[in-house]
């Protein structure tokens, strides 16, 4: 074998075409690796749009619209507008016994998936029994958020003037306030919630019974009325 052929094999390892092992490498804006996970079962012929949705469902990756991008083998960020023009195979980098897939994450930008997971936004809320107008989480989910990986968190800078008693002067504090607006098209009611509402409003029941039954549903799923 000629020297250039040997070098070609070293630089471009030949791995079995049927391998399902893909190492998803999370890097920051400077290309520094932060963590990685080995996944199997990703469709190498799927578009990057579909792959993004698949990776958004993985709790260790949570690839979202605002802070995550695919990188190609030249460490060039692929625009989300172009993701339908690429398949996963196009940007996989072969290694000895697996492929590498690079995902660049900007930690300075919000990730709705992480926020939703931390705050359990898929579950409803109700007021505390002591009527102090504070809310507590209920046990059941009334709605599913559709395509949560494509939802934006809107950031707005806020400034506050605070008096420092020790220094006897005022200091200005800047912080960012995030907000999320979910419309009806972003939500899909769960079947058990729809069934519970229909049973509560059964026409055979009196209005007082319907109200009591709706209150019971609200205690389980949260109040949306």
Residue 53 belongs to a domain with what CATH number? Answer: 3.10.20.90
Residues 93 and 22: their CA atoms lie apart, in Å, by 9
- pLDDT of 62: 94
CA proximity to 152, closest of 56, 66, 54:
66
Domain count, the chain: 2
On whether both 24 and 93 belong to a single domain, the answer is: yes
What's residue 168's pLDDT? 65
Mean pLDDT of 75-86: 92
* Same domain for 84 and 18: yes
**Taking a C-beta distance cutoff of 8 angstroms, is the pair 60, 23 a contact?**
no
Between strands 187-189 and 169-179, the pairing is unpaired
> Is there a single domain that holds both residue 103 and residue 123?
no
Q: How far is CA 225 from CA 71, 107, 124, in A?
A: 45, 37, 12
Q: Identify the band that residue 7 occupies on the pLDDT scale cut at 50, 70 and 90.
A: very low
- Does any domain span residue 54? yes
Nearest in space to 178 (alpha carbons), one of 84, 122, 109, 75: 109
Residue percentage of the chain with pLDDT more than 90: 58
Same domain, 7 and 93: yes
Q: What are phi and psi of 47, to 5 degrees?
A: -70, 160
Q: Is residue 86 domain-shared with residue 11, that is, in the same domain?
A: yes
d(CA 225, CA 206): 19
**What pLDDT, in 10s, does the model give residues 124-173?**
888 877 666 788 899 899 999 999 999 999 888 776 777 666 666 766 66
Which residues have a Cβ under 8 Å from the Cβ of 66 and sit 6 or more positions away?
Answer: 109, 110, 111, 112, 152, 153
Residue 170 lies in a domain: no
Q: Does residue 214 lie within any of the structural domains? A: yes
Q: Does residue 191 lie in a domain region?
A: yes
Q: Are residues 89 and 20 both part of a single domain?
A: yes
Angle, helix 191-200 to helix 207-221, in steps of 10 degrees: 160
Angstrom CA distances, 22 to 15, 44, 67, 203, stand at 12, 10, 21, 55
Domain that holds residue 72: 3-108
The verdict on 215 and 119 lying in the same domain is: yes
């Amino acid at each position: 074998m000629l020297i250039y052929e040997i070098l070609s094999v070293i630089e471009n390892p030949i791995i079995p075409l049927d391998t399902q092992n893909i190492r998803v490498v999370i890097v920051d804006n400077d290309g520094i690796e932060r963590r990685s996970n080995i996944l199997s079962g990703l469709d190498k012929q799927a578009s990057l749009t579909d792959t993004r949705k698949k990776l958004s469902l993985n709790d260790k990756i949570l690839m979202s619209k605002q802070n995550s991008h695919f990188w190609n083998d030249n460490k060039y960020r692929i625009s989300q507008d172009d993701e339908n023009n690429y398949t996963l195979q196009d940007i996989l980098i072969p290694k000895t016994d697996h492929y590498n897939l690079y995902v660049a994450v900007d930690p300075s930008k919000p990730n709705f998936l992480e926020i939703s997971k931390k705050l359990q936004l898929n579950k409803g809320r109700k007021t505390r029994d002591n009527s102090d107008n504070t809310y507590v989480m209920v046990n059941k989910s009334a709605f599913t958020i559709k395509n949560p990986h494509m939802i934006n968190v809107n950031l707005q800078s806020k400034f506050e003037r605070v008096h420092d008693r020790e220094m006897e002067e005022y200091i200005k504090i800047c912080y960012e306030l995030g907000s999320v607006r979910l419309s009806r098209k972003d939500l899909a009611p769960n079947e058990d919630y729809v069934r519970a509402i229909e049973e509560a409003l059964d026409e055979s029941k009196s209005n007082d019974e319907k109200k009591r039954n709706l209150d019971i549903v609200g205690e389980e799923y949260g109040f949306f009325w």
